[in-house]
Amino acid sequence: MVNSGLRDWLYQRVSAIFMAVYSLGLVVYVLAHPDLAYYEWHHLFTYMSMKVVTLLFVFLLLIHAWVGMWTVITDYIKPFVLRLMINIVILLALVGFFFQTILILWGI
Amino acid sequence: MAVATQTFDAIIIGGGGAGLRASYEMAQSGLNVAVISKVFPTRSHTVSAQGGINAALGNTDGRDDWRWHMYDTVKGSDFLGDQDAIEYMCREAPESVYELEHMGLPFSRLDDGKIYQRAFGGQTLDFGGELAHRTCCAEDRTGHAMLHTLYQKNIEAKTNFYNEWFAIDLVKTSTGIAGVVAMNIETGEVVYLKARATILATGGAGRIFQATTNAHINTGDGFGMVLRAGYPLQDMEFWQFHPTGIAGAGVLITEGSRGEGGYLINKDGERYMERYAPHMKDLASRDVVARSTILEIREGRGCGPKGEYVLLKLDHLGEEVINKRLPGIRDLSITFAGVDPLKDPIPVVPTCHYLMGGIPTNIDGQVLTIDKDGKDQVIEGLYAAGECACVSVHGANRLGANSLLDLIVFGRAAGKHFQQSVKQGLGFREATVEEIEKAMGRLNRWNNNEGGESVETIRAELQKIMQNDFGVFRTAEFMKQGFDKLEKLQERLQHASIKDKSSCFNTCRIEALELDNLMATAIATAYLANERTESRGAHARVDYPDRDDKNWLKHTLYFEDGRIGFRAINMKPKEVKPIELVARHY
Amino acid sequence: MRFSIYRYNPESDAAPYMQDYDLDVKAHECHMVLDALIAIKNNMDDGLTYRRSCREGVCGSDGMNINGKNRLACTTHLSALKEPIVIRPLPGLPIVRDLVVDMSQFYKQYEKIKPYLQNTNPTPAKERLQSPEERSKLDGLYECILCACCSTSCPSFWWNPDKYVGPAGLLQAYRFIADSRDTESKERLSELTDPFSVFRCRGIMNCVDVCPKGLNPLKAINHIKELMLEEGV
Q: What is the pLDDT of residues C112-131, one digit of tens each?
A: 999 999 999 999 999 999 99
As a whole number of Å, the end-to-end CA separation of chain C is 55
Kindly report, residue by residue over B181-235, the tens digit of the pLDDT: 999 999 999 999 999 999 999 999 999 999 999 999 999 999 999 999 999 999 9
The C-alpha atoms of residue B479 and residue B471 are separated, in whole angstroms, by: 10
**Chain A: partners with 3+ C-beta pairs within 8 Å:** C
Query: From the CA atom positions of chain A, what is the Rg in Å?
Result: 17
Q: What is the pLDDT of residue B107?
A: 98
Catalytic-role residue among B286, B291, B459, B567: B286
The C-alpha atoms of residue C105 and residue C169 are separated, in whole angstroms, by: 11
Which of A3, A6, A74 is the closest to C228 by Cβ? Answer: A6
Residue B522's nearest CA partner among B242, B225, B224, B232 is: B224
Which of C43, C59, C129 is the closest to B215 by Cβ? Answer: C59
Q: What is the pLDDT of residue B487?
A: 96
Q: Do C193 and A5 touch (CB under 8 A)?
A: yes
Q: What is the mean pLDDT of residues C222-231?
A: 93
Whether residue B1 is predicted with pLDDT greater than 60 in this model: the reply is no
A11 to chain C, closest Cα gap in Å? 12
Kindly report, residue by residue over B5-63, the tens digit of the pLDDT: 999 999 999 999 999 999 999 999 999 999 999 999 999 999 999 999 999 999 999 99
Sheet holding B346-355, edge to edge: B239-246, B346-355, B310-313, B263-265
- Do the Cβ atoms of C131 and B109 come closer than 8 Å? yes
- Do the Cβ atoms of B140 and B149 come closer than 8 Å? no
The single-letter code of the amino acid at C67 is N
**Chain A (72-91) residues lying within 8 Å, Cβ to Cβ, of chain C:** 74-76
Which of C129, C135, C179 is the closest to B108 by Cβ? Answer: C135
Residue C51 near chain B (CB below 8 Å): yes
Residue C42 near chain B (CB below 8 Å): yes
Whether residue C233 is predicted with pLDDT greater than 90 in this model: the reply is no
CB-based contacts of A29: which residues, under 8 Å, 6+ apart?
A44
Kindly report, residue by residue over B144-186, the tens digit of the pLDDT: 999 999 999 999 999 999 999 999 999 999 999 999 999 999 9
The C-alpha atoms of residue B91 and residue B96 are separated, in whole angstroms, by: 9
Kindly report, residue by residue over A68-99, the tens digit of the pLDDT: 999 999 999 999 999 999 999 999 999 999 99
Chain B residues within 8 A of C119 when measuring between CB atoms: 102
Q: What is the mean pLDDT of residues C91-108?
A: 98
User: Complex ipTM, two decimals?
Assistant: 0.98
Q: Do C199 and A9 touch (CB under 8 A)?
A: yes
Q: Do A5 and C156 touch (CB under 8 A)?
A: no
Q: Which chain C residue's Cα is nearest to B107? A: C135
**Alpha-helix residue ranges (DSSP H) falling in B367-423:** 403-423
How many degrees, rounded to 5, is the angle at CA B298 between CA B292 and CA B300? 110
C73 Cα distance to chain centroid: 13
Q: Do A4 and C195 touch (CB under 8 A)?
A: yes
Q: Do A8 and C233 touch (CB under 8 A)?
A: no
Query: How many A/C residue pairs have CB atoms within 8 Å?
Result: 33
Residue C183 near chain B (CB below 8 Å): no
Query: From the CA atom positions of chain B, what is the Rg in Å?
Result: 23
Q: Do C55 and B216 touch (CB under 8 A)?
A: yes
CB-based burial, B335-373: b 16+ in 10 Å, e otherwise: bbbebebeeebbbbbbbbbbbbbbbbbbbbbbbbbbeee
Domains and CATH numbers, chain C: 2-101 (3.10.20.30), 104-231 (1.10.1060.10)
Q: Do A5 and C233 touch (CB under 8 A)?
A: no
Chain B residues within 8 A of C52 when measuring between CB atoms: 216
How many degrees, rounded to 5, is the angle at CA B341 between CA B338 and CA B347? 60
Q: Which chain C residue's Cα is nearest to B216? A: C53
Strands (E), C77-198: 85-88, 95-97, 100-101
Chain C residues within 8 A of B40 when measuring between CB atoms: 61, 103, 107, 146
Confidence label for A4 from pLDDT (cuts 50, 70 and 90):
confident
Chain B residues within 8 A of C57 when measuring between CB atoms: 331-332, 335
Least confident of A2-6, B424-428, B475-479, C140-144: A2-6
Confidence label for A108 from pLDDT (cuts 50, 70 and 90):
confident
Kindly report, residue by residue over B123-136, the tens digit of the pLDDT: 999 999 999 999 99
Q: Which chain C residue's Cα is nearest to A1? A: C195
**Chain C: partners with 3+ C-beta pairs within 8 Å:** A, B
Query: B touches A (3+ CB pairs < 8 Å)?
Result: no
Q: What is the mean pLDDT of residues B293-322?
A: 95
**Alpha-helix residue ranges (DSSP H) falling in B157-285:** 221-228, 256-259, 273-276
Q: Do A75 and C159 touch (CB under 8 A)?
A: yes
Chain C residues within 8 A of A4 when measuring between CB atoms: 193-195
Whether residue A62 is predicted with pLDDT greater than 70 in this model: the reply is yes
Which of C156, C159, C225 is the closest to A9 by Cβ? Answer: C225
**Chain B: partners with 3+ C-beta pairs within 8 Å:** C
Q: Are strands B165-173 and B176-184 parallel, antiparallel or unpaired?
A: antiparallel
C166 to chain A, closest Cα gap in Å? 14
CB-based contacts of B354: which residues, under 8 Å, 6+ apart?
B204, B206, B239, B240, B242, B387, B394, B398, B403
Bridge partner residues of B473 (DSSP): B540
Query: C touches B (3+ CB pairs < 8 Å)?
Result: yes
Question: Is B286 annotated in the active site?
Answer: yes
Cβ count within 10 A of residue B321:
15
Cβ count within 10 A of residue B313:
21
Cis before B392 (ω within 30): yes
Residue B332 has, within 13 A of its CA and on its CB side, a CA count of 29
Q: What is the pLDDT of residue A3?
A: 62
Confidence label for A2 from pLDDT (cuts 50, 70 and 90):
very low
Bridge partner residues of B540 (DSSP): B473
Q: Do C195 and A5 touch (CB under 8 A)?
A: yes
The pTM of this model reads: 0.96
Kindly report, residue by residue over B439-449, the tens digit of the pLDDT: 999 999 999 99
Which of C46, C58, C131 is the closest to B144 by Cβ? Answer: C58
As a whole number of Å, the end-to-end CA separation of chain A is 34
Q: Do C131 and B113 touch (CB under 8 A)?
A: yes
The C-alpha atoms of residue C28 and residue C18 are separated, in whole angstroms, by: 23
| Percentage of residues of chain A with pLDDT beyond 70 | 97
How many degrees, rounded to 5, is the angle at CA C112 between CA C107 and CA C116? 90
Cβ count within 10 A of residue A99:
9
| Structural domain spans, chain A | 5-105
Q: Is the dihedral of CA B81, B84, B90, B94 positive or negative?
A: negative
Kindly report, residue by residue over B411-440, the tens digit of the pLDDT: 999 999 999 999 999 999 999 999 999 999
Confidence label for A1 from pLDDT (cuts 50, 70 and 90):
very low
CATH of domain A5-105: 1.20.1300.10
What is the phi/psi pair of residue B566, to 5°?
A: -135, 150
Kindly report, residue by residue over B344-397, the tens digit of the pLDDT: 999 999 999 999 999 999 999 999 999 999 999 999 999 999 999 999 999 999
What is the phi/psi pair of residue B345, to 5°?
A: -75, 155
Bridge partner residues of C86 (DSSP): C4
Chain C residues within 8 A of A2 when measuring between CB atoms: 195
